[in-house]
Amino acid sequence: MEFADISKLLDVYRKRLLKGEDDRRIIIESIQQVTGITLFEKEIIIKNTLLVIKSDGVVRNELFIYKQKIIETVNTRALKKITDIQ
């Protein structure tokens, strides 16, 4: 068995273990790690590859400053890949 096959198998297993709530938790942890801002799960909406933040303007402005770093951090840890933050 090749490493590519093992990698695919592990990805399938990982997807079964982690669900959407785990992705939300990972997103919240990533945002907190990068910016120091703590969000609640109700403030996060994931639409396909778009992460929508429902918070006040000051928090969203701070998140947009670190937008690229947040996206990179989330994409390395979460199953659901994020391409943009609104």
DSSP letters of 8-36?
Answer: HHHHHHHHHH--HHHHHHHHHHHHHHHH-
The whole-number pLDDT of residue 43 equals 92
**Token pair 């990805």 in the structure block, residue:** 11
Predicted pLDDT of residue 33: 94
Residues in the chain, pLDDT under 50: none
pLDDT value at residue 34: 94
Q: What is the pTM of this model?
A: 0.72
54 three-state secondary structure = coil
Paired tokens of 17: 């273990």
pLDDT of residue 1: 54
- Check residue 52 and give its pLDDT: 93
Beta strands in 6-83 (DSSP E): 44-47, 50-53
Apex CA 79: angle with CA 29 and CA 72, to 5°? 60
